[in-house]
Amino acid sequence: MSDRYAVIGHPIGHTKSPLIHGMFAKASGQDLVYTAIEGRPGLFAEDAAAFRAAGGRGLNVTAPFKLDAFAYATERSARASLAGAVNALKFDGERVLAENFDGVGLTRDVVRNLDCAMQGKRVLVLGAGGAARGALLPFLEQRPAELVIVNRTVAKALALAQELVGQGPVRACGYQELEGQRFDLVFNATSASLRGELPPVPATVFVPHGLAYELAYGKGLTPFLRMAQQTGVRRLADGVGMLVEQAAEAFAWWRGVRPATQPVIERLAVPLA
């Protein structure tokens, strides 16, 4: 019988995970079945337990259940603990192991796929929610010259930066304090693009030789990317590479085999125009 894996979220109809993991399994010769579960808000533990009881080996976790998955786990990685959120679970008897591969997937996409080194660069992260939290430790491991977190609620960004004291050159501020500052890499980890809106970032933060990265995927040229393009930024990217790379990390964690990602990224990519 094939090993069973799934992604759980609400709503889940838009998910690309079954396609991604299906391509990974076929390419790597792994015998598994990967499905999507429409989770029930407030009942994550019951839904996860039912999947385990039916023979499930692991789960990918997407919105709005990443905090529920954190609480459900019995053991959490350092990345998951810092993020305070979980996007992958592995079931081993009574143990529920938890990971957060969002940040490591994003970093791998930037450094390897986009060939954009972070070492010695000034990095700006817009937002201090779950998406940002998962990225910060992997970013600092790349040894940037400075990592700045900006958020509408400045206290939230300051608290997050405080958690990272000793991990690297990180600080936090409000959007109004960005005037006059310029960054080599700018990441939009806010939810603004999901609503077709622009975060209140000044256009002056971008540099033409830099990278503007939209964590949302499949949205084309979002207001954030359009602003970057209009200021002369030539390197634009959305989150499709992050999506595929974090999936590959989970697949390798579960199966012990790391699949090739480029064919899947090419299959899912949407032109940024």
pTM metric for this prediction:
0.94
Q: Is the CB of residue 21 less than 8 Å from the CB of residue 5? A: yes
* 56-61 sheet: strands from edge to edge: 32-38, 3-9, 56-61, 88-92, 95-99, 75-76
Residue 31 sits in the same domain as residue 10 = yes
Residue 83 lies in a domain: yes
Task: Give the helix ranges, DSSP H, for 84-168.
Answer: 102-108, 130-141, 154-163
> Between the CA of residue 105 and those of 61, 239, 247, what are the distances in Å?
15, 10, 8
- Please give the single-letter amino acid code of residue 145: A
The Cα 230–Cα 120 span in angstroms is 26
Lowest-pLDDT range, 18-22, 121-125, 196-200?
A: 196-200
Residue 70 sits in the same domain as residue 120 = no
26 catalytic, yes or no? no
pLDDT at position 1: 84
Residue 218 sits in the same domain as residue 196 = yes
Residue 175 sits in the same domain as residue 62 = no
Residue 180 sits in the same domain as residue 252 = no
Residues spanned by the domain of 88:
3-100+241-268
Of 26, 66, 90, 121, which one is the catalytic site residue? 66
Q: What CATH number is given to the structural domain containing 143?
A: 3.40.50.720
pLDDT at position 252: 98
Q: How many domains does the chain have?
A: 2
Whether the pLDDT of residue 264 is over 90: the answer is: yes
Residue 203 lies in a domain: yes
Residue 42 lies in a domain: yes
- Residue 3: burial class (beta carbons within 10 Å; 0-12, 13-18, 19+): middle
Q: What CATH number is given to the structural domain containing 74?
A: 3.40.50.10860
Residue 12 sits in the same domain as residue 94 = yes
pLDDT at position 72: 98
Residue 115 sits in the same domain as residue 221 = yes
* Model pLDDT for residues 241-262, shown as the tens digit of each residue: 999 999 999 999 999 999 999 9
Residue 254 sits in the same domain as residue 230 = no
Buried residues in 106-142 as b, exposed as e (16+ CB within 10 A): bbbbbeebeebebeebbbbbbbbebbbbbbbbbbbeb
Residue 88 sits in the same domain as residue 108 = no
pLDDT at position 79: 87
**Residue 115 CB contacts under 8 Å (≥ 6 apart), including other chains:** none
Residue 128 sits in the same domain as residue 55 = no
Residue 82 sits in the same domain as residue 130 = no
Looking at the chain, the number of H-run helices and the number of E-run strands are 10, 12
Task: Provide mean pLDDT across the span 67-80.
Answer: 94
Residue 53 lies in a domain: yes
* Model pLDDT for residues 12-65, shown as the tens digit of each residue: 998 999 999 999 999 999 999 999 999 999 999 999 999 999 999 999 999 889
